[in-house]
Amino acid sequence: MCGVEIRHRGSEIVSIRGDDADPFSRGHICPKALALKDVHEDQDRLRRPVRREGDTWREISWDEALDETAKRLLAIQRAHGSEAVASYFGNPQVHSYSGLMGGARLLRALRSRNRYSATSVDQLPHHLVSWLLYGHQLMIPIPDLDRTQFLLVLGANPVVSNGSLMTAPDVAQRLKALRARGGRLVVVDPRRTETAALADTHLFVRPGSDALLLLALLQVIFAEGLAAPGRLTDSLVGLEALRTICDEWTPERVAGPTGIDAAHIRQLAREFAASPAAVCYGRMGVSTQAFGALSQWLIQLLNIVTGNLDREGGAMFTSPALDTRRSGVGFGTPGSFAKRKTRVRGLPEFSGEYPVAALAEEILTPGKDQIRGLVTAAGNPVLSTPNGSQLSAALPQLEFMVSIDFYINETTRHAHLILPPTFALERDHFDLVFHMLAIRNTVKYCEPLFPRQADQRHDWEICEGLASRLESLDPARRPPTLARLASRWLTPKRSIALGIRTGERGAGWNPLSGGLTLGRIAREPHGIDLGPLQPCLPQRLWSRDKRIELVPALLRDDLHRLAATFTDVPADTPRGSERMSLIGRRDLRTNNSWLHNSARLVKGPRRCTLRMSAADAAARALIDGQSVTVRSRTGAVTVALEVSDELMPGVVSLPHGWGHDRDGMRLCVASAHAGASINDLTDERYIDALCGNAALNGVPVTVTNATDQARM
Ligand SMILES: Nc1nc2c(c(=O)[nH]1)N[C@H]1C(S)=C(S)[C@@H](COP(=O)(O)OP(=O)(O)OC[C@H]3O[C@@H](n4cnc5c(=O)[nH]c(N)nc54)[C@H](O)[C@@H]3O)O[C@H]1N2
Ligand SMILES: Nc1nc2c(c(=O)[nH]1)N[C@H]1C(S)=C(S)[C@@H](COP(=O)(O)OP(=O)(O)OC[C@H]3O[C@@H](n4cnc5c(=O)[nH]c(N)nc54)[C@H](O)[C@@H]3O)O[C@H]1N2
Ligand SMILES: [Mo]
């Protein structure tokens, strides 16, 4: 989403810098943008399909690779039913509009409901809550960062991450501007993060206890008569029921389990309610935990009850040039939940996908509909999903696996065939997803910077190649001729052109209208500013009666689980108790698991360290820099200890995306800076029991001296 200016001499990249004229990013870029050069030129990056033959990989032609893939997938489905082939789509797919459309096309042709993606190690609770409250999984309110006067951040580190469900370049600058205009920033996080360092107040919170804090904030607001939903009052259903629910959750009751003083909670509630424009924002730390859905729900309620939903400076909805929620190129349905359950553990689907925490057991457990074939695209679930080592052990049991990816990494090394797509600089760009999640409405399109080589394929072409082969091999899958011709004509690029033209900001079919077309957008290479977010409720609600049901039964009932979990927690967990709570960490020079083959991003002091407070280290007689073994139910890893006053006592932090020391990969730089995978410690059974999202934070672990372990 950041404007990038790349100077090149022919095919050689000379420099990469931020585009000062970009109305959204205003010259800002982060180190990941510089790594574009490294990935583009990476000798390890695949350009042609490869087939695994023993310990080696042999290049084969596209026709051979696509024919073989389609044939083998179909053979499995014919023998064992269509559910026997599963798919996993990873994060980079949402950063490629054509890849996303190709993926949707491939899923239609695969005809399997055994679908998984990175959504269930990430933002699934946001979708579920948006669907329940606002009627559409993509109606995700975005903090109006540049106009707010009070930002309350729970479990997010946007100074490092640039947000995501608050896409915002140069967050540090925007947070400084917030404070310069007299606004306040409060961060609630078990770690004093880079974002917390810029805050007026940082509160340590025990991992997984945010829902209690949020309930107590609401309790104070109701009890002190501070609730003021304002303009939306008539659109709300269940305000009284909500007040009753919150009644019992006093700050005193939650102080012990959250680790936050009752007095602090009261003060925070009063200040939040008193602000003319406040917004509460919660991200990964409160989505990927045991009460992710409850937390995301309560965050919405806090914003609604204080009148900050759909208000300038509060939580607002975007209106992008191409609104996938409204246009015909939309993805998925508004939402669905628990229409089906996974075969082995009975975890619920959301919007046609199962939680990925169930993937390994669905491969390993015999029976009807056992997964025997797998398609992965743009994902590295061995490093990114809970109990990755179990998945790594399960993948070799598949009859056939194919990966659409340009690296031979921890996951794709298990594939029989790898189909490599073009990389970012060889394809065109239009951000279909993140304009919808950004703090300002802007739009931009750019053509590929470099021509691809003749035998390279885009993600969507690979998917189209597979889909059309599946359809021609199996007449039952063949769409009617007219539909087939239409879908052939409607390439991804034509689809977005159509979506923009017919969107609310579009030119329509009137050549004289001043509205947007893809052509007009393309003529402004720096991007076009479409202005700040605008109020749009209740008209934009997806619910039929244009009202917001504040207390959906599904979420209300989950409060019992919350109460049961925290009833027995002693007011002050003794320090030095053996068990610690493990959380994650992102840093500026990573992008999940796949940018560690860039030398410039991995150089410097090692970053895959376990951070722990001095008090906890002393209690275990551990010292800074030594090797420690971290152990959980699922496994153990050995890493260097970094003693740090950033961490709340009782909590340790390890970044994700590392652990590149496996056989059979082709990632020279990454393998030399391997680190260990936190997801060998996270637990496929430790999930948000309501929706099945992985609880990657708050995992119980023990930490011991690694040499003691070795001697034992
Ligand atoms: N413990 C812990 N685990 C986590 C997280 C955490 O905070 N803690 N974060 C979670 C989150 S938020 C996410 S989104 C997931 C990410 O999890 P995944 O999406 O499973 O993994 P990535 O590391 O993003 O790997 C992306 C893969 O896509 C490939 N790739 C890159 N660009 C393209 C492309 O254009 N086309 C194709 N076909 N392939 C491409 C890369 O080579 C790489 O193999 O990880 C999750 N896992
Ligand atoms: N540089 C860089 N940028 C990225 C990425 C990357 O890998 N590297 N990944 C991208 C992706 S895919 C995503 S989804 C976004 C994620 O964006 P963010 O969510 O902003 O990023 P995280 O660093 O995962 O922030 C989660 C925070 O939650 C805290 N936390 C952990 N457990 C709890 C808890 O129980 N309660 C509370 N209150 N806090 C808790 C952690 O300490 C951490 O500070 O970032 C995106 N941007
Ligand atoms: Mo993510």
pLDDT beyond 60 at 710:
no
For the CA of 90, the nearest atom of ligand 1 = 19
Q: Confirm or reject: Cβ of 497 under 6 Å from ligand 2.
A: no
CA of 696 to the centre of ligand 1 (A): 15
The whole-chain average pLDDT of the chain stands at 96
Q: pLDDT tens, 423-454?
A: 999 999 999 999 999 999 999 999 999 999 99
Relative orientation angle of helices 492-501 and 97-110, to the nearest 10 degrees: 110
pLDDT value of residue 544? 86
For the CA of 588, the nearest atom of ligand 2 = 1
Residues contacting 494, CB < 8 A, separation 6+: none
CA of 479 to the centre of ligand 3 (A): 34
Residues contacting 677, CB < 8 A, separation 6+: 382, 383, 388, 389, 410, 637, 656, 657, 658, 659
Count, residues in the chain? 712
For the CA of 91, the nearest atom of ligand 2 = 12
pLDDT value of residue 247? 97
Q: What is the arithmetic mean of pLDDT over 520-526?
A: 97
Among residues 336, 613, 435, the alpha carbon closest in space to that of 25 is found at: 435
Least confident of 274-288, 370-384, 484-498: 484-498
CA separation for the pair 451, 89 (Å, rounded): 26
For the CA of 208, the nearest atom of ligand 2 = 35
Tell me which amino acid residue 121 is.
Answer: V
Which runs of consecutive H residues, i.e. helices, occur in 508-581? 518-522, 553-566
Residues with CB under 6 A from ligand 1: 90-92, 96, 99, 118, 121-122, 284, 377-381, 384, 404-407, 409, 421, 459, 584, 592-594, 656-657, 678-679, 682, 696
Q: pLDDT tens, 99-146?
A: 999 999 999 999 999 999 999 999 999 999 999 999 999 999 999 999
Give the side-chain half-sphere CA count within 13 A for 506.
Answer: 17
Confidence class for position 484, pLDDT limits 50, 70, 90: confident
Closest residue by CA, ligand 1 atom 42: 407
CA separation for the pair 278, 268 (Å, rounded): 12
Q: pLDDT tens, 659-698?
A: 999 999 999 999 999 999 999 999 999 999 999 999 999 9
Q: pLDDT tens, 553-607?
A: 999 999 999 999 987 555 554 444 689 999 999 999 999 999 999 999 999 999 9
For the CA of 123, the nearest atom of ligand 1 = 12
pLDDT value of residue 576? 46
CA separation for the pair 207, 200 (Å, rounded): 21
CA of 158 to the centre of ligand 3 (A): 12
Do 125 and 423 contact (CB within 8 A), yes or no? no
Question: What's the distance, Cα to Cα, between the start and end of the chain in Å?
Answer: 51
CA separation for the pair 350, 347 (Å, rounded): 10
Distances (CA, A) of 476 to 78, 113, 583: 12, 17, 48
Do 95 and 427 contact (CB within 8 A), yes or no? no
Q: Which residues have beta carbons under 5 A from ligand 3 (an ion)?
A: 122
Q: For residue 105, which phi and psi values (nearest 5 degrees)?
A: -65, -45
Give the side-chain half-sphere CA count within 13 A for 638.
Answer: 9
Relative orientation angle of helices 251-258 and 262-274, to the nearest 10 degrees: 110
CA of 591 to the centre of ligand 1 (A): 8
pLDDT value of residue 569? 52
Do 158 and 282 contact (CB within 8 A), yes or no? no
Q: Confirm or reject: Cβ of 210 under 6 Å from ligand 2.
A: yes
CA separation for the pair 63, 78 (Å, rounded): 22
Q: pLDDT tens, 219-278?
A: 999 999 999 999 999 999 999 999 999 999 999 999 999 999 999 999 999 999 999 999
In percent, the amount of the chain with pLDDT more than 70 equals 97
Among residues 351, 194, 379, 357, the alpha carbon closest in space to that of 288 is found at: 357
pLDDT value of residue 545? 94
Do 169 and 32 contact (CB within 8 A), yes or no? no
Nearest ligand to residue 33 Cα: 2
Q: Confirm or reject: Cβ of 259 under 6 Å from ligand 2.
A: no
pLDDT value of residue 124? 98
For the CA of 96, the nearest atom of ligand 1 = 35
pLDDT beyond 50 at 712:
no
- 3-state SS, 577-623, equals CCCEEEECCCCCCCCCCCCCCCHHHHCCCCCCEEEECHHHHHHCCCC
pLDDT beyond 80 at 51:
yes
Query: pTM surpassing 0.75?
Result: yes
CA separation for the pair 244, 295 (Å, rounded): 18
Q: pLDDT tens, 290-335?
A: 999 999 999 999 999 999 999 999 999 999 999 988 865 556 689 9
CA separation for the pair 85, 391 (Å, rounded): 16
Which runs of consecutive H residues, i.e. helices, occur in 415-546? 459-473, 481-489, 492-501, 518-522
Q: What is the arithmetic mean of pLDDT over 463-477?
A: 96
Paired strand residues for 629: 638, 704
CA of 91 to the centre of ligand 3 (A): 6
Pocket perturbation via mutation, ligand 2, pick of 30, 89, 126, 164 by most ligand atoms within 8 A of CB? 164
CA separation for the pair 123, 519 (Å, rounded): 33
pLDDT value of residue 53? 96
Closest residue by CA, ligand 2 atom 47: 161
Q: Confirm or reject: Cβ of 655 under 6 Å from ligand 2.
A: no
Q: For residue 662, which phi and psi values (nearest 5 degrees)?
A: -115, 155
For the CA of 164, the nearest atom of ligand 1 = 12
Tell me which amino acid residue 313 is.
Answer: G
Among residues 697, 696, 693, 698, the alpha carbon closest in space to that of 117 is found at: 693
CA of 164 to the centre of ligand 2 (A): 10
CA of 379 to the centre of ligand 1 (A): 5
Closest residue by CA, ligand 1 atom 26: 379
CA separation for the pair 374, 505 (Å, rounded): 40
CA of 145 to the centre of ligand 2 (A): 18
Q: What is the arithmetic mean of pLDDT over 72-77?
A: 98
Pocket perturbation via mutation, ligand 1, pick of 193, 375, 384, 463 by most ligand atoms within 8 A of CB? 384
Closest residue by CA, ligand 1 atom 28: 378
Confidence class for position 709, pLDDT limits 50, 70, 90: low
For the CA of 407, the nearest atom of ligand 1 = 42
In percent, the amount of the chain with pLDDT more than 90 equals 94
Q: What is the arithmetic mean of pLDDT over 630-650?
A: 98
Q: Confirm or reject: Cβ of 119 under 6 Å from ligand 2.
A: no
CA separation for the pair 300, 313 (Å, rounded): 15
